[in-house]
Amino acid sequence: MTSPRLLVLIACAAAPMLAADNPPGLLGFLPEHATAQVALEKKFDAQLNPADLRAWLQVMAAEPNHVGTPHDKANAELTLAKFQEWGWDAHIEVFDVLYPTPLTQKLELVAPVAFTAKLHEPEIAGDSTSAKTKGALPPYHAYGADGDVTAELVYVNRGMPDDYKELETHGVSVKGRIVIARYGGGWRGLKPKLAYEHGAIGCLIYSDPADDGYGAGDVYPKGGYRPADSVQRGSVADMPVYPGDPLTPGVGATKDAKRLPLSEAKTVLKIPVMPISYADAQPLLAALGGAVVPPAWRGGLPITYHIGPGPAKVHLAITSDWSLKPVYDVIATIKGGELPDAWVIRGNHRDGWVFGAWDPLSGHVAMMAEAKAIGALVKSGWKPKRTLVYCSWDGEEPGLLGSTEWAETHADELQKKAVLYLNSDTNTRGFLQVAGSHALQGFVNQVAGSVRDPEMKVSVLERLRASLLVEGSKASASASDRAIAKQLAAGQEVPIEALGSGSDFTPFLQHLGIGTLSIEFGGEDQQAGVYHSIYDSFDHYDRFGDPGYHYGIALAQTVGRVMLRMADADVLPVRETGFSDTVGHYLEEIHTLADNLRAGTEQKNKLIDANAFILASDPTETYVQPAKEGAVPFLNLAALDNAVLRLKQSAQACDDAGAQSLAAGLPLTGAQRAEIESLLQGMEQSLTDSTGLPGRDWFRHMIYAPGLLTGYGVKTLPGVREALEGRRWAEAEKYSVITGHTLDAYSDRLDKLSALLKPVPPKN
């Protein structure tokens, strides 16, 4: 291609996004290329067949496929064979990771009455694989410690930090005791970690029926929700410190990698922990005495919930096989014709906890459909400008093992070449769900405006917009939902969420600083019910997940457009004010947080001084009033304030320069174009700092991180926000400077882009 002319780095921000049938005007494309691109997408769509998805899902979910199983390897080989059949250059990459599996498990109530927990999910009529569990692991938590402990039980609600504050007011300590927490309220791995930090010697986590059992809807097999004996497995590795193989932080777990001894692996927990069903939990909870729980701690079992400690006393014993096991990543590429060293990467994991039909195979089969369709386009003569890389990850469930080890192994190359990492995972009927790098928000809006919702006669964007408008109009809407609805009503584009963790995007975004998107559909399903249980099966998904597989097709269409446009765009389709506006909102939240902390501390200390908490308490119940806290100083966040101010100006200038350049005919040389490509490729990496976040230097992104105390939930501007939340004022000021530096580096690149894009003044 010889044209020096290129197009539309930036479209008009206020213009409504293009609907499905509008004439092309694609972000990042010259008009003549845009027309071809839309035609290409039509050919791509024509290759997608829901029957493929169903057939692949049925085969891949036919047997247990967690790490180390024969079927996991067979699925890798099937995926490899399919990719190769479809014309991709594919191979399997193997890593050897620490992946403990249970050998023996025991849970019993030893006082005041005896009860032995079943710890088993029985066969369910109509669910064919529930009877075929040969090779499956029993319900367990990966990376909990081995142990044999007997102690009094304490109910800790969700087991999150505020719950321990509440326990303190009741004068209850978990020291030397075993805690029982219900799922929800924060990532499961934090529950045993916080329990351990508070002195507990064991931890049980159960699924309360109010959350995903009969309280939420009809249970399986009548409906899709969790039956009484079903258990949510899961990882409890301390992934907010670092994900991946606990023995090889920061480096790939290749055959010869240097490994930590197990005793030094920071992400392996120190106490035994076990997931249980609500059938097993009820006798334990019913045996608790002590205070009746506060209203917010009540679950859906037909009992009065008590805190304890005791008289319930439980015996918990776990032994595990701590050997290394192999994970099999399938990596497939189609080399770009024009910019082969620019990689557009797509991934979805393949391993499940048992059969994994919903999680992750529903997303995986959509990814396979994309790969098949792209293969057909290639066979028909098309070739992408940039290189497409498709990845079938293994070992996501225990700790993002396959993706993290691959990203760590290929870190340098990825930081030089990757222009996008696009992830999906469980995909079901419902609404578009997008999160990721906000410079891509406008692009995602345009793509989503061109995909038709399978159930409604509008685009998936319009359906999402409608649902956000309705959510924000409800009397029960959160302040944030109201704000979004207000923005949408004012004609602004649909916002995308920020990414925390919980799937394979984490090493790409937060360790390597690669621009990232997560795209899935969901919200009309009954997934929660079988999440990480043996009933996450083909039969269940086929009835409740996405009957007809139309949303699998919608995912392939949406992701396919993103991949194809990123691959073929004349210039990468970013809109920088999407990022700067969003960071501006985050900064406002930081200031509000500091102000609220200050006012709240003052109010609380005054109440303590006035003895108000004691006077308001019931003297017949134990009540320990909270301790006074130090006043919240006014903080110097000027570095961050100034950096955000500059960012907004630079982003606006860059967007404006793009628009002006377009109007002037985009007179750029090939060298200038290459420089623009290079500047955009490394853009997101400016947001990382090698210092990393406090106590977890693996996490280098200064805008998005999983919360150290939320696990999956995102913390934006995390260095500053978490310091404030933890009342570490000096740390907040330090990270204001560090975060400001990353934003300044980002602005430097924006300014360079602006200079390159600024039309040359006419010669007189």
> Could you say which of 19, 262, 614, 755 contacts a copy of itself (CB under 8 A)?
614
Cβ nearer to a copy of itself, comparing 94 with 210: 210
Q: Backbone phi, then psi, for 746, in 5-degree steps?
A: -65, -45
- Taking CB under 8 A as the criterion, the residue among 471, 629, 641, 751 binding a copy of itself is 471
Q: Is 87 an interacting residue with respect to a copy of itself (CB under 8 A)? A: no
Nearer to a copy of itself, 593 or 659 (CB): 593
Residue 737 engages a copy of itself in binding (rule: CB under 8 A):
no
**Which residues are CB-neighbours of 510 under 8 A, at least 6 positions away?**
499, 501, 699, 700, 701, 704, 705, 706
The reply to whether 473 sits near a copy of itself by the rule CB under 8 A is: yes
Residue 219 binds a copy of itself (CB under 8 A): yes
Q: Does 725 bind a copy of itself (CB under 8 A)?
A: no
Least distance in Å: CB of 471 to a copy of itself?
8
Q: Would strands 430-436 and 516-523 be described as parallel, antiparallel, or unpaired?
A: antiparallel
The CA distance from 658 to 584, in Å, is: 22
For residue 476, the tally of other CB atoms under 10 A from its CB is 6
Out of 21, 256, 609, 618, name the contact with a copy of itself by CB under 8 A: 618
Query: Segment contacting a copy of itself (CB under 8 A): 4-12, 135-143, 331-339, 610-618?
Result: 610-618
Q: Residue type for 202, please?
A: G
Q: Is 467 in the site for a copy of itself (CB under 8 A)?
A: yes
CA–CA distance, 762 with 764 (Å, rounded to integer):
6
Choice from 22, 104, 116, 304 touching a copy of itself (CB under 8 A): 304
Token representation of residue 695: 């106590």
**Least gap, CB of 172 to a copy of itself (angstroms):** 17
**2 near a copy of itself, rule: CB under 8 A:** no
Q: What is the dihedral of CA 481, 486, 492, 494, to 10 degrees?
A: 20
Binding of residue 469 to a copy of itself (CB under 8 A): yes
The pair of three-digit structure tokens given for residue 701, joined into one six-digit string: 């992104």
* Total number of residues that touch a copy of itself (CB under 8 A): 49
Residue 756 CA to its chain's centroid (Å) = 36
Binding part of the chain for a copy of itself, among 17-25, 471-479, 628-636, 719-727 by CB under 8 A, reads 471-479
Q: What is the DSSP string of 424-447?
A: -----SEEEEEEE-GGGHHHHHHH
Of the listed pieces 12-20, 149-157, 290-298, 571-579, which binds a copy of itself according to CB under 8 A? 290-298
* H or E, element range at 178: strand 178-182
Nearest to 239 by CA among 502, 432, 32, 466: 502
Binding test (CB under 8 A) with a copy of itself, winner from 2, 620, 690, 764:
620
Answer yes or no: are the C-beta atoms of 669 and 4 closer than 8 Å: yes
* String of contacts with a copy of itself for each residue 424-443, x by CB under 8 A: ------x-------------
Q: Where are the beta strands (DSSP E) in 437-542?
A: 516-523
Segment (H or E) for 6: none
Secondary structure class of 53 (helix, strand, coil): helix
Task: Figure out which of the listed residues 13, 92, 251, 466 binds a copy of itself, where binding follows CB under 8 A.
Answer: 466
* Nearest partner of 515 among 579, 600, 587, 585, judged by Cα: 579
| 46 in contact with a copy of itself (CB under 8 A) | no
Identify which range of 133-141, 165-173, 246-254, 611-619 contacts a copy of itself by CB under 8 A.
Answer: 611-619
Max CA pair span of the chain: 96
Q: Does 378 bind a copy of itself (CB under 8 A)?
A: no
Smallest gap from Cβ 495 to a copy of itself, in A, equals 17
Measured in residues, the chain has a length of 764
What's the alpha-carbon Rg for the chain, to the nearest Å?
26
**Is residue 727 within the footprint of a copy of itself (CB under 8 A)?**
no
Cα distances (angstroms) measured from residue 13 to each of 8, 581, 678, 680: 12, 12, 24, 19
**Cβ neighbours for 53, distance < 8 A, ≥ 6 positions apart:** 365, 366, 368, 369, 549, 552, 553
Min separation Cβ 310 and a copy of itself, Å:
16
Whose Cβ is closer to a copy of itself: residue 263's or residue 476's? 476
Q: Is 399 left (phi over 0), alpha (psi -120 to 50) or beta?
A: left
The stretch near a copy of itself (CB under 8 A) out of 457-465, 556-564, 586-594, 738-746 is: 457-465
Range in contact with a copy of itself (rule: CB under 8 A) among 106-114, 376-384, 456-464, 565-573: 456-464
Q: Please identify, using beta-carbon distances, which residue of 381 and 619 lies nearer to a copy of itself.
A: 619
Q: Could you tell me if 541 and 358 are in contact, meaning their C-beta atoms sit under 8 angstroms apart?
A: yes
For residues 358 and 725, give the distance between their C-alpha atoms in angstroms, rounded to a whole number: 35
> What DSSP state is assigned to residue 314?
E
- Residue 506 neighbours by CB under 8 Å, 6+ apart: 239, 243, 400, 403, 404, 499, 706
* x/- track of binding to a copy of itself for residues 497-536 (CB under 8 A): ---------------------------x------------
Which region, judged by CB under 8 A, interacts with a copy of itself, from 21-29, 451-459, 684-692, 695-703? Answer: 451-459
Least distance to a copy of itself, CB of residue 213, Å: 9
Among 317, 458, 659, 737, binds a copy of itself (CB under 8 A): 458
The sign of the CA dihedral 82, 85, 89, 92 is positive
Position 478 contacts a copy of itself (CB under 8 A): no
* Partners of 149 in the β-ladder: 316
The residues in 580-609 that bind a copy of itself, with binding defined as CB under 8 A, are: 600, 603-604, 606-607
The verdict on 622 binding a copy of itself (CB under 8 A) reads: no
Q: Which stretch of DSSP H or E encloses residue 146?
A: none
Site string for a copy of itself, 163-202 (x = CB under 8 A): ----------------------------------------
Confirm if 279 and 230 have CB atoms less than 8 A apart. no
> Residue 592 or 603: which CB sits closer to a copy of itself?
603
Q: Does 654 bind a copy of itself (CB under 8 A)?
A: no
Distance CA 251, CA 108 (A): 41
Segment near a copy of itself (CB under 8 A), from 180-188, 212-220, 232-240, 717-725? 212-220
Q: Enter the tokens of residue 92.
A: 């399997």
Chain residues binding a copy of itself by CB under 8 A are 209-210, 214-219, 223, 225, 292, 296, 298, 300-304, 430, 455-456, 458, 462-463, 465-467, 469-471, 473, 476, 489, 524, 600, 603-604, 606-607, 610-616, 618-620
